[in-house]
Amino acid sequence: MNAQIPYSTKSSDRSLFMIVALAIIAIIIVAIVSFIYPSTFIGFERINIESIGVIKIQGALADTQGFTILGSTTGVQQYINLIENAIKDPSIKAVLLYVNSPGGTVSASEKLFYEIEKLAYKKTVVAYVEGYGASGTYMVILPAKKIIVSESSLVGSVGVYSVIINYKGLLDKLGIQVYTFKSSKLKDIGSPYRNMTDQDKKIYGEIIQEFFSIFKERVLKYRTIIDQEVFTGRPYTSKQAKRVGLIDEIGTYDDAINITKKLAGLPEDAPIRVLEPPKPSLLDLLFRLYIKPKIRIVPSHEILAMWPPPVVEP
C-alpha cells in the first residue's frame, strides 16, 4: 500500500508572497507617478480643482547656481521649469510670482523675462514684491497683470552696468608681466591685465547703452511711466514707485492672493499651491560634497547688469 505524499504549501506560499510584493511595488509606482503628474494616471482621473500657483523668485539671478560679487545666485532654469509646469497644469488658473531679488545678469534676466511673458499670455500672472524687486528682477515681472509691493520694499533701479577690475598697477609693483597673444587689438577687450584704452571704453559704453535701451523699451511697453527719472537707475520705495508708475498697488501677501483670485475669476476659497523644484536626491547631495559651485569673484569679461539697490538698514 502506497503512502500518500502530503501536499506541500511551499509553492503556494511563494506565489502568494510574489503577488503581495508586486502589489506593493505597483502601489508605490502609482503614488510616485501620481505625485509627479497629479492630473491623470493610467486611466484614473483626478478631480482638477482650480487653484493659484505660487512661484518664489528669490536671490540674485544667474544662468547657473553659484557665487558672484552679488553673493549667492540662483540658476534661472529651475524657475523656468516651474513656469513650464504651471503652463501645462490645467488646474492652475493663475500664477502669483513672489519676488525678493535684487536682479542679476543680463542673460539670466532676459531668459526669465521671456518665460514669464509666455506664461502671462496663457494665464493670469500677478507679481508680489517683498524686499527687493530691482533691476533684472523688475524687468522679469513686467509682463504681470498687476505688480503689488509691500510697504518696506525697494523696486526699480532700471539700468545696466558692468564692473571691470584692473590689476595692471598691482602686477607692475610686484614685477609680474602678463603676455597676451591675440588676433587683433580688441580681442582682449576688458582684460584685467592691461589698462583700458579710449576705444575699449567707447565699445563698453555702447554695449551698456544697447542693453539699457532694450530694458527701457520693455518698461515703456508694460508700464505707464510718468517720471523719466525712472530711467536714471535709482531705486524707489513702494510709495515712490507707485507715484511714478512702476507698480500698481501697495499691500500684503494676502492682498496679492486676493487680487490674483479676482483677476482670474476664482472663488475666495480657491486653494494655493506653492510650486517648488524637486528636492535633491541622496545621490545629488553626496555629489555636491565633491563638486563645489562655480565661484566668480571678479566678473571681468561677463557683462553683469541690473545690480541690487543699496541695502537699507531698518
**Residues labelled as active-site residues:** 135, 187
Cell of 163: 564692473
d(CA 130, CA 118) in angstroms, rounded, equals: 24
Cell 505597483 belongs to which residue?
26
Helix (H, G, I), strand (E, B) or coil at 104: strand
Cα separation of 117 and 134, whole Å?
Answer: 18
Contact between 92 and 80 under an 8 Å Cβ cutoff? The reply is no
Only one residue has cell 555702447, namely 206
Query: Do 246 and 230 meet the contact criterion of CB atoms below 8 Å apart?
Result: yes
**The amino acid at 4:** Q
In DSSP terms, which residues pair with 294 in a beta bridge? 66
CB pairs under 8 A, 24+ apart, for 230-235? 230/156, 230/158, 231/158, 231/159, 232/159, 233/157, 233/158, 233/159, 233/161, 234/156, 234/157, 234/309, 235/134, 235/154, 235/155, 235/156, 235/157, 235/309, 235/310
